[in-house]
Amino acid sequence: MAKNTKLYDILEVNTTATEQEIKKAYRKKALKHHPDKNNHSAESIKLFQDISHAYETLSNSNKRELYDQYGTVDEGEISEIIAKQNMGNTGSNGNSHPFSAHTAGDLFAQFFGGRGSSGTGASGFGFMRGMVNGPFQSFSHDFNMNSMADFEDDGSHEMASGPGIRHNLKCNLYDLFHGKRAKLALNRTRLCQRCQGYGGKKATQCRGCQGTGLFTTTKRMGPMVQTWQTTCKECSGTGKYIRSKDACTECSGNGFIKERKFFDVEVLPGMRNGNEIILPGEADEVINTEYGKERVIPGDVIITIQLTRNEESNMRYKYLVHDHDLILDNFEVDLKTSLCGGTIIIEDHPSGNPFKIEVLSGELLKPGCIKCVENKGMPVDSNGNFGNLYIRFRVKFPEQLKSDTINKLSEILVQDENISSILSDSINNKSYKINSSDIAEEQVLSTFTTEDLQSKFKNAKRDSPNKRKHADRDGPHYNTTYDYDYNPTESCHMN
């Protein structure tokens, strides 16, 4: 029977109350007398401290045993009680008290096994760390009047969100034009479904830490007692362990499994390089931390579309950011077609279907000019709308012409009024202020150029990539686009 019932009276429970009854009484009293509910009056603060102290003592089986036997857990008071008992026993029958060979510090070490545990993270001795507030370590920060999460039996806390898993999905222009389905296999760690993460049928309270997950070591140093806490090695801080006979056969008692998950990924027609397909909540449910395994809210699997450039057709086309347009760069056309018109064929369009373009007679294709073919770009939506195709032409000139061809061309060209109006006056029919004798020498054109100089002419200026984001909350999300802007200097519709 308890020698002192004061702490039991504070919680309004019997001395024979179970651990659950003590916990239930503490919750009820703590809610009623918490300072936040009583304008932080001095009386409510004092009463709440008494309630917390009573619970901190009676909820610990070792401290409760000491309190029931001596009416206190204070080492000094217990020392006095033992001394008086020893003196009384010696005076009456000459026999010493059973604990006469021990100091009060040794008695504490005996009760706590040299490594007593404390669920609140406080010392086993009240005077070492002052008043302890149980789960409510402060009045204003740790107690949420709008939530009952503080009173979960398992001491659970809000889980953190885990990291996502990123993967690049390679696509060519044909894939982005038509769309495609791909199977993606990813390795991830998830809770065991058979045991729901518990590791077995029945979890047993750890005997090393009394279920607190902490290991408190007590050491006597003269009149003082030193205590320190570490994570219990027997249960890795969980407070529980699964006996081998009760371990889940699916996860071997770990509570989690490593699995290889297959996802069906759909690339929609018209998606671009850098777009993201997001599969919410499909990442790891258990992650590695510096403290060991930790359960988290699963992150997302983020699949980024990566346009491959290893095919010749992909190198020729550029996917523009504006209205799903395409540009076909350096499309080669012969000199005759560029001057006189004719038929050109696009064989490697991303649609996979070649098509022809009629260059009308009189529509000159200048070197480097850009023409537009409507509705031959990338898909805009599922309603059959497409962007435009811009073609930048490169005229293929012959290395040389025969003399007869040159004479005929010269006669024909000068007869065309459009050409004759822009022909430069020759040196023979234009009046110069200098005499022909002042011209020191004549020069001719040469084909000799350095490779460095040629590369300067070949390199085209490319604008910086633009980045756009948009969100779609229904189903998979598509966002973040990386594309190149191109502002055509000349745009004409070709029939």
How does pLDDT run across 142-188, given as a tens digit for each residue?
333 333 233 333 444 567 888 999 999 999 888 999 999 999 999 99
**One domain, residues 133 and 32:** yes
Q: If you average pLDDT over each of 205-209, 220-224, 296-300, which comes out highest?
A: 296-300
Q: How many domains does the chain have?
A: 3
Considering only residues 346 and 202, tell me which one the structure prediction assigns the higher pLDDT. Answer: 346
Hey, what are 49's tokens?
């401290």
Hey, what are 70's tokens?
């001596």
Cβ-count burial 290-315 (b if 16+ within 10 Å, e if not): eeeeebbebbbbbbebebeeeeeebe
Cβ(481)–Cβ(323) below 8 Å: no
Residue of 117, 119, 46, 110 lying closest to 75 (CA atoms): 110
- Kindly report the CATH number assigned to the domain that includes residue 107: 1.10.287.110
- Kindly report the CATH number assigned to the domain that includes residue 185: 2.60.260.20
Q: Tell me, what's the pLDDT at 138?
A: 31
Considering only residues 236 and 40, tell me which one the structure prediction assigns the higher pLDDT. Answer: 40
**One domain, residues 20 and 168:** no
Strand 301-307 to 165-171 pairing:
parallel
Query: Is 45 part of any domain?
Result: yes
What percentage of the chain has pLDDT greater than the value 90?
Answer: 18
Distance in angstroms (rounded) separating the CA atoms of residues 103 and 331 = 98
Q: How many CA atoms lie within 13 A of 217 on its CB side?
A: 7
**One domain, residues 70 and 101:** yes
Q: What is the mean pLDDT of the chain?
A: 73
Q: Tell me, what's the pLDDT at 481?
A: 35
Q: Tell me, what's the pLDDT at 98?
A: 40
Q: If you average pLDDT over each of 231-235, 429-433, 435-439, 469-473, which comes out highest?
A: 231-235
What percentage of the chain has pLDDT greater than the value 70?
Answer: 66
CB-count burial class (<10 Å; 0-12, 13-18, 19+) for 16: exposed
**One domain, residues 277 and 193:** yes
Distance in angstroms (rounded) separating the CA atoms of residues 99 and 284 = 55
Q: Which residues contact 21 (CB under 8 A, 6 or more apart)?
A: 13
Q: Tell me, what's the pLDDT at 117?
A: 40
Confidence bin at 303 (pLDDT 50/70/90): very high
**One domain, residues 143 and 178:** no
- What would the mean pLDDT of 319-333 be, rounded to a whole number? 79
pLDDT at 349 over 60: yes
- What would the mean pLDDT of 221-242 be, rounded to a whole number? 72
Cβ-count burial 89-105 (b if 16+ within 10 Å, e if not): eeeeeeeebebeeebbb
- What would the mean pLDDT of 476-487 be, rounded to a whole number? 40
Residue of 173, 171, 169 lying closest to 185 (CA atoms): 169
pLDDT at 422 over 80: no
pLDDT at 102 over 80: no
pLDDT at 114 over 70: no
* Weakest mean pLDDT among 26-35, 104-113, 231-240: 104-113
pLDDT at 428 over 70: no
Q: Tell me, what's the pLDDT at 442?
A: 63
Range of the domain at 351: 314-420+479-495
**One domain, residues 70 and 31:** yes
State which of 287, 308, 329 marks the end of a domain: 308
**One domain, residues 283 and 339:** no
pLDDT at 429 over 90: no
Query: Is 138 part of any domain?
Result: yes
pLDDT at 464 over 50: no
Q: What does the pLDDT look like over 63-82, one tens digit per residue? A: 888 888 888 887 767 777 77
**One domain, residues 16 and 133:** yes
Confidence bin at 90 (pLDDT 50/70/90): very low
Distance in angstroms (rounded) separating the CA atoms of residues 434 and 22 = 118
Query: Is 462 part of any domain?
Result: no
**One domain, residues 487 and 342:** yes
Considering only residues 471 and 406, tell me which one the structure prediction assigns the higher pLDDT. Answer: 406
Residue of 272, 288, 253, 320 lying closest to 487 (CA atoms): 320
Q: Tell me, what's the pLDDT at 490?
A: 40
Query: Is 441 part of any domain?
Result: no
Confidence bin at 132 (pLDDT 50/70/90): very low
pLDDT at 413 over 50: yes
What backbone phi and psi angles, to 5 degrees, belong to 485? -80, 145
Query: Is 452 part of any domain?
Result: no
Q: Tell me, what's the pLDDT at 457?
A: 58
Hey, what are 41's tokens?
């009056």
Query: Is 445 part of any domain?
Result: no
Q: What does the pLDDT look like over 1-51, one tens digit per residue? A: 567 888 999 999 998 899 989 999 998 888 888 877 788 788 888 898 889
Query: Is 469 part of any domain?
Result: no
State which of 147, 182, 208 marks the end of a domain: 147
**One domain, residues 20 and 105:** yes
